[in-house]
């Protein structure tokens, strides 16, 4: 195996994982100077496995979702030999599995654990409900492999889910993977979204208690334990209140008909439990990543020679067209595996060539001279056909090269809410929105607003023409003393200070705080981007970096 360089831009640095259907490379985007993941999918795997096709459908679906916990798909590419490459971003991360190894050495608040599960549930809800953009039919995309290693904490304080709909191979039978499977997955029953609900419940139990729901044992005993039900949730009682315990119990019900029906309901239940209880989860997450994250172990390439790979953009329509052409051709007719169909006769003559020529002569074709003339004519015809074919192939390849080169660049208009957002490609400032410019297909751009230096959006250029990008930031409302009641735009919140709300820089906010034994403080209507300071009798509020303010 050797190093891959795709289109003189993406350069692989080592192998992260290898399976029967793909290779996952750690790579570098030389154009934007950032790390990426490069999944190389073998042509034979796509032809032979519906699971691989389903994985590709899931990656195209992920590109439609802007949720923070979503793995960011940069581009789909296809090489001339049929190899498909899925390129995604690769921020510095820490898996929950790695974090749980340090459980005894850290303070993992219940609120943070519930927040992590809530973020995953929100993403699952979006994926489960996605519809095919071409047909409008539900895609029915389920993860079916959730475990503590597929949920990551990121260096910017976020949560991420990876390996959505990833084809499973032999490693699924290992104890670490079996421990998160739903009973119906082990029993071979029909699978649906409730499998992911069960797996998420197992992960939640582990986060809240530091203990596995199913103790380590051999795989067959572990499977028997899961399908019997009656799980021991006693370790939760000393860590959480009855409301949290009830939600997890509803996730881990043996009969899926009695389980929480969908991820949206689970996310809403968790959000309700978290109301008024969570403060700055991103800061704690960043601390964990800085302290425990390690560089991934890479398998070096045995062949030091670099393999230059030329590719073109691979679309969902290409996937559908390729799948149809494969299904139209029976497996026995595919290249390298051609056999006679039933009723089809193949005759192979064992008559020597000399005897065949004698039979031709006896048949009245004029003897060996005629045979020689026919042979010469056939040779000239063959040469002519080959020459014409080569000319056409050369013309076609030239057109493809021109088309491929042209498709690498794309012109579009980027608009945002609010306007005046700075747009960067790498470290280069392209301008401020609304902005018309050209960039490579699959290119990722960074958007920043001057009001909120701590907030940024990384967007895929291919999605810019669909709708304006809405810039959001988090406003943190603090008071001294803490515990002030908050009225936001005339509505009394159930939360008290300190509290965080999400808003766009152009949103108009009117915030009133009521602190016991002090006059009510009201900001008056003010756009978030314009908040610098305001005052009222006995109070003074000063803007903080990142968009919050301190009273």
Q: What are the residues facing 72 on neighbouring strands?
A: none
In this prediction, the residues of the chain whose per-residue pLDDT falls under 50 are 170-173, 326-369, 371, 396-407, 532-538, 546-548
| 457 SS3 class | strand
- Residues 537 and 515: their CA atoms lie apart, in Å, by 13
- Residues 245 and 207: their CA atoms lie apart, in Å, by 13
DSSP state of 173: G
Which pLDDT does position 375 carry in this prediction? Answer: 59
| Global model pTM greater than 0.75 | no
H or E element that contains 44: helix 43-48
Which pLDDT does position 429 carry in this prediction? Answer: 75
Q: Which of 38, 76, 55, 73 is nearest to 307 (CA)?
A: 38
Which pLDDT does position 55 carry in this prediction? Answer: 92
Which pLDDT does position 343 carry in this prediction? Answer: 35
User: What homologous superfamily does CATH list for 2-91+298-316?
Assistant: Phosphorylase Kinase; domain 1 (3.30.200.20)
Contacts 24+ apart (CB under 8 A), 202-205: 202/252, 203/96, 203/117, 203/120, 203/146, 203/147, 203/148, 203/151, 204/113, 204/114, 204/117, 204/248, 204/251, 205/233, 205/235, 205/236, 205/248, 205/252
- Would you state the torsion angle of the CA atoms of residues 249, 253, 257, 260, taken in this order, to the nearest 10 degrees? 30
Q: Classify domain 93-291 at the CATH class level.
A: mainly alpha
Which pLDDT does position 196 carry in this prediction? Answer: 97
H or E element that contains 291: helix 281-292
Residue 4: exposed, middle, or buried by beta-carbon count in 10 A (0-12, 13-18, 19+)?
A: buried
Strand order in the sheet with 456-460: 428-432, 422-425, 444-448, 456-460
- Residues 422 and 187: their CA atoms lie apart, in Å, by 53
The domain locations on the chain are 2-91+298-316, 93-291, 409-470, 473-550
- Residues 368 and 376: their CA atoms lie apart, in Å, by 12
- Would you state the torsion angle of the CA atoms of residues 197, 128, 179, 219, taken in this order, to the nearest 10 degrees? 130
Which pLDDT does position 386 carry in this prediction? Answer: 53
What separation in angstroms does the CA of 113 have from each of 5, 215, 240, 327, 371?
A: 40, 21, 11, 46, 86
| Residues 284-320 pLDDT 10s | 999 999 999 999 999 999 887 889 999 999 998 888 8
| Residues 453-471 pLDDT 10s | 555 566 666 555 556 776 6
């Amino acid at each position: 195996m050797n190093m891959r360089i795709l289109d003189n831009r993406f350069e692989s640095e080592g192998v992260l994982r290898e399976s029967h259907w793909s290779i996952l490379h750690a790579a570098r985007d030389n154009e934007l100077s950032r790390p990426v993941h490069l999944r190389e999918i073998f042509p034979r795997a796509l032809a032979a496995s519906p699971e691989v096709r389903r994985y590709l459908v899931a990656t195209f679906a992920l590109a439609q979702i802007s949720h923070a916990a979503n793995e960011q798909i940069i581009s789909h590419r296809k090489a001339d030999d049929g190899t498909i490459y899925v390129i995604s971003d690769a921020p510095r991360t820490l898996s929950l599995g790695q974090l749980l190894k340090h459980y005894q050495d850290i303070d993992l608040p219940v609120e943070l654990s519930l927040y992590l599960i809530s973020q995953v549930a929100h993403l699952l809800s979006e994926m489960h409900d996605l519809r095919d953009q071409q047909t409008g039919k539900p895609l029915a995309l389920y993860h079916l492999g959730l475990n503590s290693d597929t949920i990551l904490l990121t260096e910017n304080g976020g949560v991420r889910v990876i390996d959505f709909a990833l084809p499973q191979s032999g490693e699924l039978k290992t104890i670490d993977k079996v421990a998160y499977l739903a009973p119906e997955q082990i029993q071979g029953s029909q699978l649906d979204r409730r499998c992911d609900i069960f797996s998420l419940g197992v992960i939640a139990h582990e986060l809240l208690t530091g203990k596995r729901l199913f103790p380590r044992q051999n795989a067959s005993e572990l499977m028997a334990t899961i399908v019997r039900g009656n799980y021991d949730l006693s370790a939760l009682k000393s860590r959480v209140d009855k409301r949290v315990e009830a939600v997890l119990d509803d996730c881990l019900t043996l009969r899926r008909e009695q389980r929480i029906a969908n991820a949206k309901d689970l996310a809403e239940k968790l959000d309700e439990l978290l109301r008024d209880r969570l403060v700055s989860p991103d800061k704690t997450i960043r601390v964990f990543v800085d302290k425990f994250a390690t560089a991934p172990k890479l398998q070096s390439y045995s062949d030091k020679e670099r393999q230059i790979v030329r590719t073109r953009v691979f679309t969902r329509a290409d996937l559908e067209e390729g799948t149809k052409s494969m299904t139209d051709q029976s497996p026995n007719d595919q290249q390298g595996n051609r056999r006679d169909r039933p009723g089809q006769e193949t005759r192979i003559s064992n008559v020597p060539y000399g005897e065949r020529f004698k039979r031709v002569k006896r048949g009245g074709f004029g003897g060996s001279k005629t045979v020689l003339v026919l042979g010469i004519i056939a040779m000239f015809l063959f040469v002519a056909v080959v020459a014409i074919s080569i000319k056409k192939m050369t013309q076609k390849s030239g057109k493809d090269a021109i088309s491929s080169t042209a498709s690498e660049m794309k012109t579009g208009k980027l608009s945002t809410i609010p306007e005046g957002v700075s747009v960067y490609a790498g470290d280069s400032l392209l301008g401020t929105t609304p902005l018309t410019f050209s960039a490579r297909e699959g290119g990722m751009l960074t958007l920043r607003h001057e009001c909120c230096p701590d907030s940024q959006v990384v967007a895929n250029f291919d999605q810019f023409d669909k709708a304006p990008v809405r810039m959001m930031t988090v406003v943190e409302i603090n008071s001294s003393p803490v515990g002030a009641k908050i009225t936001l735009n005339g509505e009394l919140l159930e939360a008290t200070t300190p509290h965080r709300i999400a808003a766009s820089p152009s949103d108009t906010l009117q915030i009133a705080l009521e602190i016991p034994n002090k006059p009510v403080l009201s900001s008056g209507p003010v756009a978030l981007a314009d908040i610098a300071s305001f005052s009222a009798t006995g109070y003074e509020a000063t803007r903080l970096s990142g968009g919050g303010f301190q009273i």
